[in-house]
Amino acid sequence: MTIAKLTRAASVGLLISTVLSGAVWAQAITIAIGSEPSTLDPQLRDDGGERQVNDNIYEALMARSPTGELVPGLAAEAPTRVDDTTWQFKLRPDVSFHNGAPFNADAVVASVARVIDPANNSEQMAYFGTIKGAEKVDDLTVNILTTGPDPILPSRMYWMKMIEPGYAASGDLAGAPVGTGPYKLEGWNRGTDLKLVANDAYWGGAPQIDEVTYRFVAEPGTRLSGLMAGEFDVITNLLPEFTASVPKFAAVPGLETSVFVLGTDNEVTKDPKVREALNLAIDRQAMVDGLFMGYASIAKGTHINPAATGFNADLEPYAYDPDRARALIEEAGAAGKPLVVVGESGRWLKDREQIEAVAAYWAETGLQVTTDIQEFSQYLDSLMGDGPRPDAIFIANSNELLDADRELSFIYHKDGAAASNSDAEMAAKIDAARVEIDPAKRKALLDEVQKTAHDLSYTVPLFNLNDIYGMSERMEWQPRTDAKLMVSEMKVTE
């Protein structure tokens, strides 16, 4: 990680409040994020804005250290494998939800049942592919049941947030969440901001930051100016060119890979020649140099993150060959045909810039290219909804499970939430790898899937991105490998 301390531009003073009869120094911070949560229900959408908030409200059975080590969360210890399709978790005692209800095995069973219920159509199912249910053993013991052997089941339970069953049935998870975490929702001004306050009864001890306000600021320049004016303490997706201008910045290798998912059954992009041309048309090195100033690297022919178990290291980045790209478009008879590129703006580092640059490269092949930059909730529906697949849709895809199954299941599997294709043979191999416990056999299957997808250009992978944050002078924070904004790990100085 790189942390630069530079000339102090502005900072926000500590908030002084009086509680009961004594004066208390309350620590309050403001974080500017690129997109407003589409919901605060922690189980249904795959929405980064939701996670940036809910990671502080809800918890899972497993957690990760800031450096990525898998550790117990609401589980009291690491799980044990009972048999090929059963993992047993012992739960922490004396943990309560924000409404006072106890966290126990019943809550785990309900949480598992809800997220995998087909009626709920959760966008997070790429994380939970093998899970078929849970059963209570006793109040503090629960078994997670899988469809077959699953070597990464503990990692899957790092992602599944635990809900309170009674509140899930009668409360408002989408607008007024109730979790077990160190922070509770105090208020949500739709379109503007959202405030969390410390959970003084938190089982892990009250956090140092007493309250945090999230401001929803899509434009990176506006986030920067707010930081410089002392309005914000942390901003996400700091533009690389401004790292030398802010009071502090931090950059860490991230888990996100920017990629265009192609609709391989669509009229234009169903032709492998067209998809190959779309990959060959892009000067990725020029984009790395011009957009990212070294805070990104060219993806090696796949959207699978190099940090993930199962990454195929034998793949090479797609070459830049604009002449060949134009020739392929002519050979496919696609010159002059329309190609619609769908994206959003503000959620990821240089997202709009990547979308517009790639669209310009593609227009040079002879295609008639248009871009459709959508509001984030609409964009999520385009990416993962039930409607027609876009010709090409941008995403900075992440992999907090640190295993290739998550990314393969999400994009390469025909039933994935963001499926690029309807390739049944590829889906069968992904399914087989998911329950293969022999490491060599599993790796061979994962490698084969990635090579096939590379050779058929099912996606247009771009860059492995760094996470770059701007911070006020008073912030003390070590950003995490998994990009979670865990406020309980932050503190401020006077």
Question: 350-388: per-residue pLDDT in tens?
Answer: 999 999 999 999 999 999 999 999 999 999 999 999 889
Supply the pLDDT for residue 22. Answer: 36
Kindly give the interhelix angle for 322-331 and 272-280, rounded to the nearest 10 degrees: 160
For residue range 198-216, what is the model confidence (pLDDT) as tens digits?
999 999 999 999 999 999 9
* Residue 310 token pair: 């199962």
CA–CA distance from 374 to each of 140, 202, 249, 343, 394 (Å)?
45, 38, 29, 6, 11
Residues 198 and 153 in one domain: no
Supply the pLDDT for residue 18. Answer: 31
Supply the pLDDT for residue 4. Answer: 38
For residue range 474-483, what is the model confidence (pLDDT) as tens digits?
999 999 999 9
For residue range 76-120, what is the model confidence (pLDDT) as tens digits?
999 999 999 999 999 999 999 999 999 999 999 999 999 999 999
Q: Is the pLDDT of residue 241 over 90?
A: yes
Q: Is the pLDDT of residue 13 over 50?
A: no
Q: How many residues does the chain have?
A: 494
Residues 307 and 431 in one domain: yes
Determine the Cα–Cα distance for residues 261 and 374; give it in Å rounded to an integer: 16
Q: Do 251 and 467 contact (CB within 8 A), yes or no?
A: yes
Residues 406 and 261 in one domain: yes
Q: How confident is the model at residue 185 (pLDDT cuts 50, 70, 90)?
A: very high
* Residue 403: strand pairing partners: 309
For residue range 457-471, what is the model confidence (pLDDT) as tens digits?
999 999 999 999 999
Residues 292 and 224 in one domain: no
Residues 63 and 87 in one domain: yes
Supply the pLDDT for residue 51. Answer: 96
Residue 352 lies in a domain: yes
3-state secondary structure of 462: strand
Q: Is the pLDDT of residue 6 over 60?
A: no
- Please compute the mean of the pLDDT values over residues 331-341 and round it to a whole number: 98
Residue 243 lies in a domain: yes
Residues 366 and 281 in one domain: yes
Taking the CA atoms of the chain, what radius of gyration do you get in angstroms?
Answer: 23
Q: Is the pLDDT of residue 20 over 60?
A: no
CATH number at residue 377: 3.10.105.10
Q: Is the pLDDT of residue 472 over 60?
A: yes
* Percent of the chain at pLDDT exceeding 70: 95
Residues 112 and 139 in one domain: yes
| Listed residues 170, 200, 228: the one ending a domain | 170
Predicted TM-score (pTM) of the model is 0.86
Q: Phi and psi (nearest 5°) for 324?
A: -65, -40
| Listed residues 139, 170, 201: the one ending a domain | 170
Please state which of the ranges 4-18, 162-176, 178-192, 238-252 shows the lowest mean pLDDT.
Answer: 4-18
CA–CA distance from 28 to each of 209, 210, 233, 383 (Å)?
6, 6, 9, 36
Supply the pLDDT for residue 388. Answer: 92
Q: Is the pLDDT of residue 16 over 50?
A: no
Supply the pLDDT for residue 24. Answer: 44
Residues 243 and 371 in one domain: no
Residues 359 and 433 in one domain: yes
Determine the Cα–Cα distance for residues 206 and 170; give it in Å rounded to an integer: 28
CATH number at residue 162: 3.90.76.10
Residue 242 lies in a domain: yes
Residues 300 and 433 in one domain: yes
Q: Do 367 and 359 contact (CB within 8 A), yes or no?
A: no
Residue 339 lies in a domain: yes
Q: Is the pLDDT of residue 14 over 50?
A: no
Residue 43 lies in a domain: no
* Residue 255 token pair: 């888990």
- Please compute the mean of the pLDDT values over residues 139-151 and round it to a whole number: 97
Q: Is the pLDDT of residue 12 over 50?
A: no
CATH number at residue 197: 3.40.190.10
Determine the Cα–Cα distance for residues 143 and 164; give it in Å rounded to an integer: 18
Q: How confident is the model at residue 3 (pLDDT cuts 50, 70, 90)?
A: very low
Residues 242 and 259 in one domain: no
Q: Is the pLDDT of residue 276 over 70?
A: yes
- Please compute the mean of the pLDDT values over residues 162-175 and round it to a whole number: 97
Residue 337 lies in a domain: yes
Q: Containing domain of residue 226, as a range?
A: 2-38+181-247+472-492
Residue 48 lies in a domain: no
| Total domains in the fold of the chain | 3
Helices (H), 316-423: 322-331, 351-363, 376-384, 404-407
* Residue 71: strand pairing partners: 63
Residue 382 lies in a domain: yes
Supply the pLDDT for residue 249. Answer: 97
Residues 338 and 314 in one domain: yes
Supply the pLDDT for residue 436. Answer: 95
